[in-house]
């Protein structure tokens, strides 16, 4: 592990994942890895519920990590991988909340349609990947990153601002880059000691990609169970 992404999701993490991989830090872990490798859900759930502290079991073989669920454990990961640099992605807090409200928070709402409510019941009954995923995100995102409770605008913006303050206070300046993806290659490459690529910085449509990936995952995950909890 060479880079630990401490920034919350919706701070350009999908673009950053692509950028880091183009700089040779490949593969880079992101929530997309959880959605496409659902056995990882159970490893994160074991960590979130206190049955495991083996981050290597889920992140072994990765050169970098960004986004949730790993960013919720930035402090533990900084100790687990003492040679890794820490990359804190930030953006305007109000804009961050609007992006959250349009994507992740919308997915966390209880289902409103009869079919959606039926799928939720089936998922819980089958102890499916979707049920495990909802439990994992409830602990690693809602509880750990936001302190639990209803995700209202004021409280989430406060949590975002406090998170940035805590990371900046805890990580030595020579190990930390506070970064906005709009800054492009230069500060990132200086921090990592890599040449600047002769290509534009990747600008992925996180919102659109998130929607497609999340929908595909939820359709599959209602019926499947890809792992089990540790003993």
Calculate the alpha carbon distances from 97 to 10, 24, 153, 203 in Å.
8, 31, 7, 20
pLDDT at 223: 47
What is the overall mean pLDDT for the chain? 86
pLDDT at 207 over 80: no
Single pTM value for the model: 0.87
CA–CA dist 83, 214 (Å, integer)? 33
Higher local confidence (pLDDT), 148 or 178: 178
- Tell me the C-alpha distance between 81 and 186, whole Å: 25
All domains of the chain in start order, with CATH: 3-221 (3.40.50.300)
Q: Note the pLDDT tens digit of each residue in 19-43.
A: 999 999 999 999 989 988 889 999 9
Phi, psi of 33 (to 5 degrees): -65, -40
| Distance between CA atoms of residues 63 and 61, nearest Å | 7
Is the pLDDT assigned to residue 222 strictly greater than 70? Answer: no
Inter-residue contact 122 to 213 (CB < 8 Å): no
- For residue 104, pLDDT over 50 is answered with yes
- Indicate the DSSP class of residue 143: I
Where is average pLDDT lowest: 35-49, 97-111, 153-167, 216-230? 216-230
Which tokens sit at 204? 């992925």
């Amino acid at each position: 592990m060479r880079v630990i992404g401490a920034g919350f999701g919706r701070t350009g993490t999908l673009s950053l994942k692509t950028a880091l991989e183009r700089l040779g830090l490949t593969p880079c872990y992101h929530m997309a890895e959880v959605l496409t490798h659902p056995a990882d859900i159970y490893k994160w759930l074991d960590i979130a519920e206190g049955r495991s502290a083996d981050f290597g079991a889920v992140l072994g073989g990765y050169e970098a990590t960004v986004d949730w669920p790993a960013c919720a454990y930035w402090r533990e990961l900084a100790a687990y991988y003492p040679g890794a640099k820490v990359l804190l992605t930030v953006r305007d807090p109000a804009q961050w909340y609007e992006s959250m409200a349009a994507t992740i928070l919308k997915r966390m709402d209880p289902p409103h349609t009869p079919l959606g409510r039926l799928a939720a019941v089936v998922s819980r009954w089958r102890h499916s990947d979707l049920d495990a995923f909802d439990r994992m995100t409830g602990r690693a995102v809602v509880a750990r990153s936001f302190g639990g409770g209803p995700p209202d605008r004021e409280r989430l913006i406060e949590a975002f601002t406090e998170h940035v303050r805590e990371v900046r206070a805890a990580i030595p300046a020579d190990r930390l880059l506070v970064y906005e993806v709009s800054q492009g290659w230069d500060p990132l490459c200086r921090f990592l000691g890599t040449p600047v690529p002769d290509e534009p910085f990747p600008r992925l449509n996180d919102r659109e990609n998130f929607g497609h990936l999340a929908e595909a995952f939820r359709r599959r995950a209602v019926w499947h169970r890809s792992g089990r909890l540790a003993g």
